[in-house]
Amino acid sequence: MTDIATIARDIEPEVRSLGFDLVRVAMIGGASDPTLQVMAERPDTRQLDLSDCETISRRLSEWLDSNDPIEGSYRLEVSSPGIDRPLTRLKDYTDWAGYDARITLKDPQGGRKQFSGTLEGIDAGNVRLTDKAGEHHVLPFSDISSAKLLLTDKLINATAPLSTEGADSIQTIEE
């Protein structure tokens, strides 16, 4: 069985040496078609472009080939976390305070496992969130099973591409 936490810990220095932050490492797909998914971002922009993905992919391919931490064949996928990104690190909840998120807990708290609302940051290892009814929730980070940002106009505006040059024009080639 592949230990994803160990792989993430081991490849993080490789990703950091290239100037990127590791966001998430996961093994996705079934046993017949496994994919090692690596999400990373530039610390200053929280984005990646295609050449960034290529750079990270080449470095990690070399590292994975020489260290061989995964039995059998698999694919490597390197990507940006995307606009409705997963929240995987404690700092994500501070960085994205003021934006809407959905958080799922490992075990129910107050009869609920899922909470949606506006992130209010962190306090002593707890994630603070205010739901649409105005109720405040304090969720221990260690109890979170998964979390992601919710797609809103505010998020779209905050994560607009760094360059949109040519995005609103169609170029045609005349023969």
- CA 41/CA 47 separation, integer angstroms: 5
Residues 13 and 53 in one domain: yes
Residues 69 and 96 in one domain: no
Q: What is the pLDDT of residues 101-124, one digit of tens each?
A: 999 999 999 899 999 999 999 999
Q: Is residue 160 part of a domain?
A: no
What CATH number is given to the structural domain containing 14? 3.30.300.70
- CA 80/CA 38 separation, integer angstroms: 8
Q: How confident is the model at residue 161 (pLDDT cuts 50, 70, 90)?
A: low
Domain that holds residue 38: 4-79
| Cα separations in angstroms, 24 against 10, 38, 78, 92, 148 | 13, 6, 10, 12, 12
**Full-prediction pTM beyond 0.85?**
no
Three-class DSSP category at 117: strand
Q: Is residue 84 part of a domain?
A: no
- Report the number of distinct structural domains present in the chain: 2
Q: Which of 45, 79, 113 is the last residue of a domain?
A: 79
Do 25 and 7 meet the contact criterion of CB atoms below 8 Å apart?
Answer: yes
What CATH number is given to the structural domain containing 103? 2.30.30.100
Q: What is the pLDDT of residues 46-65, one digit of tens each?
A: 889 999 999 999 999 999 99
For residue 129, what are the β-bridge partners? 119, 137
Q: Which of 48, 79, 110 is the last residue of a domain?
A: 79
